[in-house]
Amino acid sequence: MKTILVIGIGRFGKHLSRKLIELGNEVMIVDKEEEKISELLPLAASVQIGDCTKEEVLHSFGISNFDLCFVCVGTNFQSSLEITSLLKDLGAKYVISKASRDIHIKFLLRNGADEVIDPEQEIAEKLAVRCSANNLFDYIELTKDISIYEIPPADRWIGKSIKEVNFRVRYNVSILATKIGEKISLLPAADHIFRADEHLMVIGRHNDVEKILKLIN
């Protein structure tokens, strides 16, 4: 469990807070507008109303006690920049700020953010990759070169074992898990037999996985 401060309860901040709480974290939420935080009142460990561009408001929260601080102010970049800078001045251990433009990312990083996220860009890029390839159910980008992909097995693998296919050597990709419906089996053994009704969770470089996707197509 972590102690987490979320500043700015718009759509993103609200969804983020809900999930953080669901995962068992102790979350304090803050916004200037009372109506934005009302539905989270029964869930959050602490709820505050205040203007976080004011140092005295942030100081009263005991910023150094939080493991993570999220700045989710989306409509006013100047406020986001000021809050990010103040958090670091007040001893924040790790600050993650939300941005909507590349230039904002650069300024936030220069002014103390340890990490900056652009949710719309990340969702758009992920959707573009998924929709551009046939037989790609989902993927998680780990680096610019490596991702985890959820794919079906190729017809030529069905009924054969991972060892028989010589999967790792032939394709330079590793199988992390197999999935049938909602059931996931981690790290399948070399004698695992490929099934037509399963999905494969594989990790590898983009160009290697693309070769497999073309094979499946």
What tens digit of pLDDT does each residue of 116-170 get?
999 888 888 888 877 877 788 988 889 889 999 999 999 999 999 999 999 999 9
**CATH number of the domain bearing residue 101:** 3.40.50.720
Same domain, 132 and 48: no
Beta strands in 85-160 (DSSP E): 95-98, 115-117, 138-141, 146-151
Average pLDDT of the segment spanning 50-73: 95
* Same-domain check for residues 113 and 126: no
Burial class (CB in 10 A: 0-12, 13-18, 19+), 129: middle
* 113 in the same domain as 72: yes
Q: What confidence tens digit (pLDDT) does each residue in 76-97 have? A: 899 999 999 999 999 999 999 9
Asked if 91 and 136 sit in the same domain, the reply is no
Sheet holding 138-141, edge to edge: 138-141, 146-151, 199-205, 174-180, 183-186
Q: What is the pLDDT of residues 191-200, one digit of tens each?
A: 999 999 999 9
